[in-house]
Chains A and B, each alone.
Chain A
């Protein structure tokens, strides 16, 4: 097998201390992130409690680690961050400028950025399909670029929306991970980023057509939610959500959901390939299976963490770390499902269509846990009703 990216990871990962492999650019990036975190701390520390200080420090360190682990984000985050800063500067302290300043109105205001994200994801999906059907590397490269841009729009959306919340009212502003609309954008972002990582890691862009389908479905939901339900309006936090646990529980969950979604779409690709459909267009059956496994492994780890964080939050909010609330229970079901999946693959050595089917079903179960519970069952989760 000749897989250049593997060779590089090996030489980096294999040699004992990883920091020997770090280059000047890595250090500059780390310095930059830490400096930004420092400025944020210096300006806003009074408004944050000690947990939020910890979250800030943790986020900065995670960003550094992520950049060292996966080089492209060293450029991605600073660029997207700069755009967001530009938007903040354009706003000043007048929310009304969102409708008057050209750059805000058409590009950088959070809702404009969200619309750009939607459009870019749709375009990327279409072009990935062109690339897949025509086996065109150029189309794939363009689609990949569009996906990056869409993810960038999501980052801009995130920070700008955060800021806009405070412009509406100092008691209204909060980090935008507090309702279904906000977490759907987060889902699109995380899924896209994870996919882009695998694309580079496995040096193939031919999985994008499938993965981007599920992102497009989420984008479709976002559009419906925005236009039909005005769900994009910033609402203040009700007391149950005023907790710093929310700020880590929710994102951790979405790494899980995103990973499971990727795994399911690769499962679909595998099942098609096994029936000779698009077989010669897709990466090999085994590569698909391996990426699927990798995705589920990451997803399982983060989902475990998220569930534990949820339990800790519940211990603060509801008076018990586990109440068998429907949402909790379904999280457990999802978790048990993937634990079984991992057992049969790793311990029993299963491979093939059955795991692919299983991961597709797994996504259905996950989707029910994520949306269905809110729609059909009642419980303590005041969060994210449709």
Chain B
């Protein structure tokens, strides 16, 4: 065995197929990691997920951005290297092969081939050779005739492109990887390793305060960043996420967002997201106007601008501040802006209102979950392609947090439009104390004027200790008049009423319930509870009258609808005790200002990648669908040898050989008129 030098052995290893296949396998496995673990999330969420102990080693391994980790890039580098070496190693042979007819093949080796046949030649040599040449040409072979000592050799070949296919396909891998590397963040990674660049990790600093080390100039070869901006504003930098922080990419132009459009289908699905933008080149001052839509980027100065997200851009809001407890006849007005914070005082306490997103539409599917229906109904459904989905736009909503001086926050979700249920209208307000919890909704009933005013007045009276005796007096008088109670019992009845009202004002139905649980024997709870409810139901009527009297309004005529309004009011007052704060912010108007999110990319490797892709497809096609065949016909007076080889050994090889052998046998045996089939 020949001893290989180390260099030679390394070359053989790197260019071997075994190495390539191992590499492909490793790459596949590494890629899987990146799909299982969500990539490029904020580092804090990884820290929470893995705990302090694992967070660091995983970070060190680059698991949060596998595809840009050093070791992954090195593997890709090896793939490029190995494939290049492989091409380098095979190319000369392949080119030689493509050019050559292998006319020098020795008789002995032809005879040793799997597909060869000796045929008796009963024709003159020259005629047979000419006919054989015609046959080969007709079959699409190119051939060469050489006269050798022992006779004449026809060497023919077809499908040389098959071998070029190998070249195309493997060169393609190299080209694609190089293109990909050009567009990757390798240079940036190197610069940050060398300390030339540094990620910015502070989250809320203005661009002007970001250090030069975290800024990338417009001449940066390739980047992929994001920009978020409200309508009417202009931006000239993009943000590049990088590990625990970001870089700021200065753009060669400034983008102004004129308008963002959303359209919906009647079914509620989004139909169109589009931004009208104006791009002003910094160098030339040239202005390019255009609309960017999903799937339709705008390309300016080699930088492509994509529509990637949208949202609220900070919209002016008008709110009415209602006091659950107070007797204020009118709500205060409050002006605010979504996505912004503002100070707010309530009951002498300093609070902060942190407004979240304004959502101008809330499309909800009102379809109840399809109950298990009979087979016939399902068959009916399965035949129809049009579904009558009950979707409804429940109108705009605003989400906000109310934070107190201790930093505790309660979050609210308030809807602007009334919600209808069984002919009654309500304002919905959701509340929660932790982000993970679902919103608990309070329904604030609307009065005949479609305002929460009526309810708020009732709520104020129910919360006012001074009003309770008066309410109790009126209710008791009514009860006595109706004969529901005897005059002797009236005093006691009034006291019970005041007591129930007081209890209710302490904590709503929950307070009454806990009293029952603590003080009343189990077997009596039900009956006593019913009594409390009845008392309240009677009292709320008088509370409502009293509240209207205090507001100088005429009493409302009692009817079924009014009764339901009163019951709803009781429920809402009861819910207000868990509401977190003593006020309700009713959204009454807004002026929508949207924001749009863009991706901006410069990818000089893209043409290379596309070229590589083209080569790849061509190469694979040639490799699989072109057969490289060779035929040798060696002839002497009286004898003829046919040998055949193909790069594929399959059933078709046999068939082709049989056809050639039949054709040559027939032209060798009898002299025939030249013919075409």
Task: Give chain A's interface residues, CB within 8 Å of chain B.
Answer: 1, 3, 6-7, 10-11, 14-16, 95, 98-99, 105, 109-112, 115, 161, 164-165, 168-169, 171-172, 226-227, 230, 232-236, 238-240, 242-243, 245, 287, 290, 297-298, 300-301, 304-305, 308, 311-312, 315-322, 324, 326, 329-330, 332-333, 336-337, 339-340, 343-344, 346-348, 373, 377-379
Contacts and interface: CB of A to CB of B under 8 A. Distances in A.
B655 A6 contact: yes
Nearest to B273: A239
A343 B616 contact: no
Contact of B294 (A7, A161, A235, A242): A242
A340 B21 contact: yes
25 contacts: A1-B655, A6-B655, A16-B139, A98-B383, A109-B383, A171-B271, A172-B265, A227-B378, A230-B381, A238-B271, A239-B272, A301-B621, A308-B617, A311-B613, A312-B610, A317-B294, A319-B308, A319-B601, A320-B599, A321-B603, A329-B31, A336-B28, A343-B17, A346-B623, A377-B36
Interface string B232-266: 00000000000000000000000000000000011
B551 to A, nearest CB: 51
Interface in B16-57: 17, 20-21, 24-25, 27-28, 31-32, 34-36, 38-39
B294 A232 contact: no
A3 B17 contact: no
Interface stretch (B503-511, B517-525, B554-562, B646-654): B646-654
A66 to B, nearest CB: 15
A326 B35 CA distance: 5
A164 B295 contact: no
B490 interface: no
B381 A14 contact: no
Given A161-B385, A377-B35, A308 B616 contact: yes
Interface residues on B, range: 35 or more
B385 A232 contact: yes
A240 to B, nearest CB: 6
Closest 4 CB pairs of A and B: A319-B599, A239-B294, A326-B35, A319-B306
B204 interface: no
Q: Which of A7, A298, A321, A333 has the most CB of B within 10 A?
A: A321
Contact of A99 (B180, B383, B601, B659): B383
A234 B266 CA distance: 13
Contacts of A339: 24
B283 interface: no
B140 interface: yes
Contacts of B266: 169
B384 A98 contact: yes
B382 interface: yes
A236 B271 contact: yes
A201 to B, nearest CB: 10
A336 B387 contact: no
What secondary structure prevails in chain B residues at the interface with A?
helix
A316 B385 contact: no
Q: Which of A109, A300, A311, A322 has the most CB of B within 10 A?
A: A322
B606 interface: yes
B493 to A, nearest CB: 59
A197 B386 CA distance: 35
A232 B387 CA distance: 9
A165 to B, nearest CB: 8
Given A236-B265, A317-B295, A318-B599, A10 B609 contact: no
B370 A290 contact: no
Nearest to B389: A233
Nearest to A293: B650
B624 interface: yes
B266 to A, nearest CB: 7
Interface string B289-319: 0000111110000001010100000000000
A233 B311 CA distance: 29
B267 interface: yes
B356 to A, nearest CB: 23
Nearest to A339: B24
B654 A15 contact: no
B224 interface: yes
A308 B613 CA distance: 7
B624 A297 contact: yes
B158 to A, nearest CB: 9
Nearest to A337: B28
B382 A304 contact: no
A322 B385 CA distance: 35
Contacts of B271: 171, 236, 238-239
Contacts of A105: 383
Contact of B140 (A16, A169, A287, A315): A16
B21 A319 contact: no
Contacts of B67: 324
A178 to B, nearest CB: 12
B21 A14 contact: no
Interface string B273-298: 10000000000000000000111110
Given A305-B617, A333-B28, 15 more contacts: A3-B655, A14-B140, A95-B386, A169-B266, A233-B386, A238-B270, A304-B616, A318-B308, A319-B304, A319-B599, A321-B606, A322-B609, A332-B28, A336-B24, A340-B24
B620 interface: yes
B329 to A, nearest CB: 49
A305 B304 CA distance: 24
Contact of B609 (A321, A329, A378): A321
B656 interface: yes
B138 interface: yes
Contacts of A379: 35
Contacts of B304: 319
Contacts of A347: 17
Contacts of A378: 38
Nearest to A17: B140
B269 A236 contact: yes
A168 B651 CA distance: 52
A337 B24 CA distance: 8
B297 A316 contact: yes
A15 B383 contact: no
Contacts of A344: 21
Contacts of A165: 385
B306 A318 contact: yes
B385 A99 contact: no
Given A1-B654, A240-B295, A168 B385 contact: yes
Contacts of B609: 311, 321-322
A245 B297 CA distance: 14
A316 B383 contact: no
A185 B346 CA distance: 62
Nearest to A369: B35
Given A6-B655, A99-B384, A15 B138 contact: yes
Contacts of A235: 267, 269
A316 B35 contact: no
Nearest to A20: B676
Contacts of A304: 616-617, 620
Contacts of B624: 297-298, 300-301
A131 to B, nearest CB: 23
Nearest to B663: A14
Q: Which of B266, B295, B610, B621 has the most CB of A within 10 A?
A: B295
A41 to B, nearest CB: 24
B674 interface: no
Nearest to B29: A333
A165 B267 CA distance: 14
A10 B655 contact: yes
B150 interface: no
Nearest to A236: B265
Contacts of A298: 624
Interface string B629-663: 00000000000000000000011101110110000
A304 B378 CA distance: 40
B149 interface: no
B620 A300 contact: yes
B554 to A, nearest CB: 52
